[in-house]
Amino acid sequence: MLPALGLFCVQTPGGMMLDLVTDRPSGAAAKAQALAQTGPLIAARGLCKSYDRRRTILDGVDLEIAAGERVALIGSNGSGKSTLLKSLIGLHPISGGTLHCFGEPVDARGSRKQRLAMRRQTGFVFQKHCLVRRRTVLSNVIHGLFGDAGSWRAFSHSLAPPEWRDRAMQALAEVDLADKALERADALSGGQQQRVAIARALVRRPRLLIADEPAASLDPVSGRNVMELFTQLCRDHGITLLYTSHDMAHAVDYADRVVALKGGKVLFDRPAAQVTRADLKDTFDG
């Protein structure tokens, strides 16, 4: 048994701090390990995506994301942000170009095994939290484990093995909702429900967190709270973060880098601190 040093850390016999959320080294060690990984976590070259022959949605996107980075993706409605997020992790097959995710090539057809391996390492948070309203908060978090072996047990917290329940309780504690575990999901406020969705993503112990407009359905204060919470969690656990936002303050304040999409291409890709008003105007004009 490893000595527990806090809610989410234990010390290994070798003296290394281990993060219980991700099963990887924690704190400074997590960051160092994430950044020391060779090669980018995601690398797209000339990525193209069409849903049909009439229209090209993504037209030669080049994008690299290093492990441990936090990247915001911006662009006007319909510019292809959600399409790019889904394509990068193999949820949508790409139509052209090359794509590597977690160091593995993702070919145009993408085998089922490849997609499952990628999904296992990725957590998702969407604008609509998609919780099962009538189920408990704890069961909803355990639903994050669907897709793993024996995952029918993730249907309900009462069927789940104790280890899964422990993992889900750790994730709920991370989003400060452990005391709501046995309440029905629809008894919680919008901001709390989005925090449950974050816990459902964390329970997978992801290397990469993909968030599509995570604060768009929330009021401004809850929205900032949610953004602060998950950027902090990603920093603490060395999780790479890629999110879309139509709120430019959210893009600039919580990301290391901002990538703008326009006309199916990357309009700019630069550190958040260097993004100017003129950049934002160019992104949304015309």
Among 75, 90, 206, 223, binds ligand ADP (CB under 6 A): 75
Whether 167 contacts 160, CB under 8 Å? no
- Partner residues linked to 207 by β-bridges: none
Q: Which residues lie below 8 Å from residue 167, measured CB to CB, with a gap of 6+?
A: 145, 203, 205
Among 14, 77, 112, 113, binds ligand ADP (CB under 6 A): 77
CB of 54 to ligand ADP, least distance (A): 10
Q: Is 79 in the site for Mg ion (CB under 5 A)?
A: no
Q: Which does 78 bind (CB under 5 to 8 A by kind): Mg ion, ligand ADP, none?
A: ligand ADP
Question: Stretches 24-32, 64-72, 75-83, 120-128: which one binds ligand ADP (CB under 6 A)?
Answer: 75-83
Q: From CA 13, how far away is CA 30, in angstroms rounded?
A: 17
Count of CB atoms situated within 10 Å of the CB of 193: 23
Count of residues near ligand ADP by CB under 6 A: 10
Residue closer to ligand ADP (CB basis): 42 or 142: 42
Q: By C-alpha distance, which of 225, 200, 218 is closest to 136?
A: 200
Question: Stretches 78-86, 143-151, 167-175, 278-286: which one binds ligand ADP (CB under 6 A)?
Answer: 78-86
Q: By C-alpha distance, which of 25, 125, 62, 71 is closest to 265?
A: 62
For the chain, state the CA radius of gyration. 19
Among 26, 79, 87, 136, binds ligand ADP (CB under 6 A): 79
Q: Site map for ligand ADP, 38-67, x if CB under 6 A?
A: -------------x-----x----------
Q: Which does 57 bind (CB under 5 to 8 A by kind): ligand ADP, Mg ion, none?
A: ligand ADP
Count of CB atoms situated within 10 Å of the CB of 167: 24
